[in-house]
Amino acid sequence: MESIYIIITGIIVLLAISDLIVGVSNDAVNFLNSAVGSKVISFRNIMILASFGVALGALSSSGMMEIARKGIFNPQFFFFDEIMIIFLAVMITDILILDTFNSWGLPTSTTVSIVFELLGAAVIMSLIKIISSDSISDINIFINTQKASQIIFGILLSVFVAFSIGAFIQWISRLILTFNFEDKSLYLNSVIGSLSFSSIINFILIKGIKGSPYSKETYDILDGLTINNFIDNNIFQFWIISLLFWYVFSIILIKFFKADIYKIIIGIGTFSLALAFAGNDLVNFIGVPIAALESYNGWVASGISANEFSMTILAEKVQPKPIYLFVSGLIMVVTLWNSTKAKNVVKTELSLANQNIVDERFSSNIIGVGLVNIGRSLNNAFIKLAPKSLLIQIQKSFNNDNIKVSNNPNRPSFDKLRASLNLVIAAILISLATSYKLPLSTTYVTFMVAMGTSLSDRAWGKESAVYRVSGVVNVIGGWFFTAFCAFTLCGLIVFLLHIGGTFAMIAIIITAGALVYRNHIMFKKKGDIKI
């Protein structure tokens, strides 16, 4: 009997490698989009910056893997044999869903997929336990409903908040800076540099460093405080000092070194988002395998039968071995350089945000048409009510006649100002949510910010608006489809594994492998992806 669980554990570990590959291929858009779209940095240098960010983020990952261990369900109410079925089903489902979305070229959330997979698997296993038991139990005993509700609320909230704030800040920034932002005064561009650098550094501290295990250790240089405590106690002072320092620093860079401040913002922003992605989303790929390894080791050491060993050990916090983080980071970096599907996802987002004439990737749909009509009605109402002087000023600020719209595929998708704001706004929103322990999806935030800035920048013209908005609707619909599929498919696999045992496991793995291979063959027919 022990041999079957060795095999299952080995399969889960092997599936983790595949999950890392498909996960990075989808999430790469979060930190590559702005730099690739603006084309102010060569693709090679973008990849180098992102690789350093991913590697450092993986090595400094918190590794607590709380979502996989006890964030969604209460492990103490499950036995070892049940937990292993749950974990195996989750890994198979995650690979299938993410690989499918990569093949479609649609960005989705690896956090949402893993959460709803765990939720679906735990719910079905709980129902099996309740039905097979003589005593009546409440499913709330098994499921962490409060945590699940918070995550769902965070998903919905992040979509609307990110889009609205992205659109507003881009509109205000363009109103002040116009499309001729590089010709503005030294001091105005330095203010932008100061705000951007401060936000990004704060983002790295809060989202990157505060989540690492090193942040919980005390240091003499910090008067015996942990990094987390020091940052929390001095956050206001940090912001003031940071804004002043980076303002002076920006002036020096622009005036004496003739540096392109926006190019630097894009470079640092790309690095910071890549770092945060690897440091915090690593749980989505290796959290379940690590929990499976811990479960197996705990079960073997106990000497208790698999159907009687309670998984209370998963309620404990365990720091994974550095070798796991190192290998994971290495796989992520290699995938980043070699994944064609990552380029496919990036291309989709760039096509929706493009300032130029492009072949639209999406057809119109009734929701997109309806939203565009509402938007035009609101715009017409604003024109009627707003003072004429304001309308004239807006027209001057948003006049981009000096920037010729082109169908040249080598032209930037958008300018450096929009690229910088995409990174900065996303960094601010994610760091704020993290500070207040609010759940959200980094994918949803970065994507909706990019769409909001595109709207304000008038990238969605009269002819393209319907297709662009319809495309956004399709992507958002895909997010809800992710949650639905993750829940139902994972729950179905748990049920089949429970009733079919080893034969079902073999059949499901073969089927999953065949589906992934089919996706691979279909994707290869598309040819090389250029962005």
Instruction: Give the angle 13-18-19 at the CA atoms, nearest 5°.
Output: 85
Q: Kindly state the tokens that stand for 148.
A: 């699940």
Number of helices and strands in the chain (H, E)? 19, 2
More confident site: 300 or 136: 300
Q: Kindly state the tokens that stand for 362.
A: 């999406």
Can you spell out the DSSP letters for 181-236? GGGS-HHHHHHHHHHHHHHHHHHIIIIIITTSGGGGSEEGGGTTEEHHHHHHHTHH
Q: What is the pLDDT of residues 443-494, one digit of tens each?
A: 889 999 999 999 999 999 888 999 999 999 999 999 889 999 999 999 999 9
> Which are the contacts of 28, defined by CB distance < 8 A and separation ≥ 6?
50, 336, 339, 342, 345, 346
Distance CA 88, CA 16 (A): 10
- What's the confidence (pLDDT) of residue 452? 96
SS3 for 308-366 is CCECHHHHCCCCCCHHHHHHHHHHHHHHHHHCHHHHHHHHHHHHHHCCCCCCCCCCCCH
> Which are the contacts of 330, defined by CB distance < 8 A and separation ≥ 6?
55
With a cut of 80, say whether residue 356 has pLDDT above it: yes
- Per-residue pLDDT, averaged over 175-200, amounts to 92
The verdict on residue 68 lying in a domain is yes
Distance CA 405, CA 401 (A): 9
- What's the confidence (pLDDT) of residue 121? 94
Q: How many CB atoms lie within 10 A of CB 342?
A: 24
Q: How many CB atoms lie within 10 A of CB 379?
A: 10
Phi-psi bin for 223: left (phi > 0), alpha (psi -120 to 50), beta? Answer: left
With a cut of 60, say whether residue 11 has pLDDT above it: yes
The verdict on residue 529 lying in a domain is no
- What's the confidence (pLDDT) of residue 457? 93
Q: How many domains does the chain have?
A: 1
With a cut of 70, say whether residue 318 has pLDDT above it: no
- What's the confidence (pLDDT) of residue 109? 87
- The model's confidence at residue 522, banded by pLDDT at 50, 70 and 90, is confident
Side-chain-side CA neighbours of 102 within 13 Å: the count stands at 28
Average pLDDT, the chain: 87
| Identity at 357, one-letter amino acid code | I
- What's the confidence (pLDDT) of residue 429? 84
With a cut of 90, say whether residue 523 has pLDDT above it: no
Side-chain-side CA neighbours of 307 within 13 Å: the count stands at 3
| Identity at 409, one-letter amino acid code | P
Q: What is the pLDDT of residues 12-36, one digit of tens each?
A: 999 999 999 999 999 888 899 999 9
Helix (H) or strand (E) holding 135: none
Phi-psi bin for 437: left (phi > 0), alpha (psi -120 to 50), beta? Answer: left
Q: Kindly state the tokens that stand for 501.
A: 């045992």
The verdict on residue 250 lying in a domain is yes
Contact (Cβ atoms closer than 8 angstroms) between residue 27 and residue 443: yes
Q: How many CB atoms lie within 10 A of CB 230?
A: 18
Q: Kindly state the tokens that stand for 21.
A: 């590959």
Q: What is the pLDDT of residues 215-247, one digit of tens each?
A: 777 877 777 888 778 877 888 888 899 999 999
Name the residue among 244, 224, 173 with its Cα closest to residue 415: 173
Give the domain range for residue 153: 2-524
Distance CA 302, CA 320 (A): 21
3-state secondary structure at position 225: strand
The verdict on residue 228 lying in a domain is yes
> With pLDDT > 70 as the criterion, what percentage of the chain qualifies?
91
Phi-psi bin for 224: left (phi > 0), alpha (psi -120 to 50), beta? Answer: left
Q: What is the pLDDT of residues 276-296, one digit of tens each?
A: 778 777 778 888 898 899 899
State whether the Cα torsion 21-282-103-418 is positive or negative: negative
Distances (CA, A) of 180 to 186, 189, 291, 354: 13, 11, 53, 18
Contact (Cβ atoms closer than 8 angstroms) between residue 106 and residue 478: yes
More confident site: 508 or 136: 508
The verdict on residue 531 lying in a domain is no
Distance CA 351, CA 358 (A): 7
End-to-end CA distance of the chain: 51
Give the lowest-confidence range in 214-218, 250-254, 407-411, 509-513. Answer: 407-411
Q: What is the DSSP letter of 440?
A: -
Helix (H) or strand (E) holding 138: none
- Per-residue pLDDT, averaged over 263-273, amounts to 93
- What's the confidence (pLDDT) of residue 63? 47
Contact (Cβ atoms closer than 8 angstroms) between residue 341 and residue 103: yes
With a cut of 60, say whether residue 70 has pLDDT above it: no
The verdict on residue 530 lying in a domain is no
Side-chain-side CA neighbours of 20 within 13 Å: the count stands at 27
- The model's confidence at residue 303, banded by pLDDT at 50, 70 and 90, is confident
Question: pTM here?
Answer: 0.90
- Per-residue pLDDT, averaged over 309-328, amounts to 81
- What's the confidence (pLDDT) of residue 64? 46
Give the lowest-confidence range in 70-79, 266-275, 400-409, 479-488. Answer: 400-409
- What's the confidence (pLDDT) of residue 179? 92
Q: Kindly state the tokens that stand for 179.
A: 């499309």
Determine the length of the chain: 531
- What's the confidence (pLDDT) of residue 72? 79
With a cut of 50, say whether residue 117 has pLDDT above it: yes
Distance CA 512, CA 90 (A): 12
Q: Kindly state the tokens that stand for 71.
A: 């964030």
- The model's confidence at residue 207, banded by pLDDT at 50, 70 and 90, is low
Q: What is the dihedral of CA 230, 231, 235, 238, to 10 degrees?
A: 90
> Which are the contacts of 75, defined by CB distance < 8 A and separation ≥ 6?
69, 83, 311, 312, 313, 314, 315
- The model's confidence at residue 3, banded by pLDDT at 50, 70 and 90, is confident
Contact (Cβ atoms closer than 8 angstroms) between residue 475 and residue 373: no
Contact (Cβ atoms closer than 8 angstroms) between residue 329 and residue 55: yes
- The model's confidence at residue 112, banded by pLDDT at 50, 70 and 90, is confident
Instruction: Give the angle 47-48-50 at the CA atoms, nearest 5°.
Output: 60
Largest CA distance in the chain: 81
The verdict on residue 66 lying in a domain is yes
- The model's confidence at residue 65, banded by pLDDT at 50, 70 and 90, is low
| Identity at 388, one-letter amino acid code | K
The verdict on residue 162 lying in a domain is yes
Contact (Cβ atoms closer than 8 angstroms) between residue 22 and residue 99: yes
With a cut of 70, say whether residue 68 has pLDDT above it: no
